[in-house]
Structures are given as structure tokens and as C-alpha cells.
């Protein structure tokens, strides 16, 4: 089911599928709700899965020049979609900067979460405009998809969304307040900054564990969806 909800003049697009406990997916920079489709289909017999396009991305791409981009706005976009869908408590999965959004939700609204999954993300992105570190691996088809999506985004939207990522102060001093069961998962071949950030998340979040997906890069849910479903399903069963 495809739905929209209005947030400060922006129509936020989201999809809902299946029945059961709430399960919310948040994509990263340049991503879209459709990135989670294979994962949602695999789990829809057990969960009510919601995937949202945050402002400037996917089907929520039509925005005005005055639209404000920030991680705080992305948090509000996600919660507006969850509330519109009538989901009170939910498992939350965030990829890349979507993992930053997920961390903010976990810190600000702990009563809403059943569990947390932080996929190929870190506790701070402020160093991502600086040289250094190893780049993430992406297979050619995933790299081509990411490049095409960035090309389709208006330059001012792309730049504003990237700046929101860089300007996010992170949650390093607040991670200890995350009390729900947390899975830190990432591809073995992701960027060194993401791997280092995953180490920090694992050390700082009290009830966290890690799974590394061999051979995968920055987007294991696209590169190895079957394995990602297996890892996610085990976490959800434990939660």
C-alpha cells in the first residue's frame, strides 16, 4: 500500500505491507524506500513493514527551494509516516545516514522502539568531506544505481541533503541511553570510516551485538538480500 503524509509543505511518501509487529526501514543518502522491497517481501507474513522516502529522495523528491534539510527533519518525516500508518511501537532499521536518523529516534523516543538495527552506519558523519580512509565497496550494478539517482536529484537538493548529513553532530555522548536490543551490521568491505564508527556504536550501546556480512560492501541489503534477511530475521526473533 502506497501512502503519503504532509510535513511542513513536503509530501512524504511511504509504503506499508504485511501484518504483525511494526517494522520501519530508513534508507540512506541517495537511497529510496524501494531499496527495501526484497527485504519487505521476505518478511511481510510476520511484520507490518513500513519504508519511507525522506524529503528530496524517491517519491518524496518534489520539494521547494525553501525546504529545510536536517537529520532532525528526517526524524520527523519518518515518525510522521509511522504515525500516519497507525504504528505505535516498532522495530527500526536504518542504513547509512538512515542509521543516524535511527539513532536519533532511539535516543529521543525510546518508548517507541521494540529493537534497533544500525546497518553500515556510524555515530558521526562530519569527517566525510575530508580526504582519507578506504572507500566502500559497491558492486557495479549498485554503484550505477547510486550514481543514476544522484544525477536525477536537483543539485540544490543533493547538496542540502549532503550538508544535513555533514552538519549532524552525532550522538556519541547519548548512545549509552539506548536501552533496546541493538544489532550493528555491516558489510566486510565497507569504508574504513563506517567500520570504525561501527566499533564505536558497538562499544557505546549497552545491549548491542555485531554481525559482519562477508564479501558485502556498503549496502548488504541490496548486495546480499537473502543473507541480510537471515541476519535481520534472527535479530527480530531474539527481540
What number is the average pLDDT over the span 16-38? Answer: 95
Q: How many CA atoms lie within 13 A of 162 on its CB side?
A: 12
| pTM given for the model | 0.95
pLDDT, position 157: 86
- Indicate if the pLDDT at residue 65 is higher than 80: no
Domain 2-238 has CATH 3.30.460.80: no
What number is the average pLDDT over the span 19-23? Answer: 95
Domain parsing of the chain, residue ranges = 2-238
Mean predicted lDDT score pLDDT of the chain: 93
What number is the average pLDDT over the span 74-87? Answer: 96
Residues 173-186 pLDDT 10s: 999 999 999 999 99
Count of all residues that appear for the chain in the document: 239
Give the CA distances from residue 48 to residues 33, 88, 117, 226, 230, in Å, rounded to whole numbers and listed in that order: 15, 11, 16, 19, 18
Amino acid at each position: 500500500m502506497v501512502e503519503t503524509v504532509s510535513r511542513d509543505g513536503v509530501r512524504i511518501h511511504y509504503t506499508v505491507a504485511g501484518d504483525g509487529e511494526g517494522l520501519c526501514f530508513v534508507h540512506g543518502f541517495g537511497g529510496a524506500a524501494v531499496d527495501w522491497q526484497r527485504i519487505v517481501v521476505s518478511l511481510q507474513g510476520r511484520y507490518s513493514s513500513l519504508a519511507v522516502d525522506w524529503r528530496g529522495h524517491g517519491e518524496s523528491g518534489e520539494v521547494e527551494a525553501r525546504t529545510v534539510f536536517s537529520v532532525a527533519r528526517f526524524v520527523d518525516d519518518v515518525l510522521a509516516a509511522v504515525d500516519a500508518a497507525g504504528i505505535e511501537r516498532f522495530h527500526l532499521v536504518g542504513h547509512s545516514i538512515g542509521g543516524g536518523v535511527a539513532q536519533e529516534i532511539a535516543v529521543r523516543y525510546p518508548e517507541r522502539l521494540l529493537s534497533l538495527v544500525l546497518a553500515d552506519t556510524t555515530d558521526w558523519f562530519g569527517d566525510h568531506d575530508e580526504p582519507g580512509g578506504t572507500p566502500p565497496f559497491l558492486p557495479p550494478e549498485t554503484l550505477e544505481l547510486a550514481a543514476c539517482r544522484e544525477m536525477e536529484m536537483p543539485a540544490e537538493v543533493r547538496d542540502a541533503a549532503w550538508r544535513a548529513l555533514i552538519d549532524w553532530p552525532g550522538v556519541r555522548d547519548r548512545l549509552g541511553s539506548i536501552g533496546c536490543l541493538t544489532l550493528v551490521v555491516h558489510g566486510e568491505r565497507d569504508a574504513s570510516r563506517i567500520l570504525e564508527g561501527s566499533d564505536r556504536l558497538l562499544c557505546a550501546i549497552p545491549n548491542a551485538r555485531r554481525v559482519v556480512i562477508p564479501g558485502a560492501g556498503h549496502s548488504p541489503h541490496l548486495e546480499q538480500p537473502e543473507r541480510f534477511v537471515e541476519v535481520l530475521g534472527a535479530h527480530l526473533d531474539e527481540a
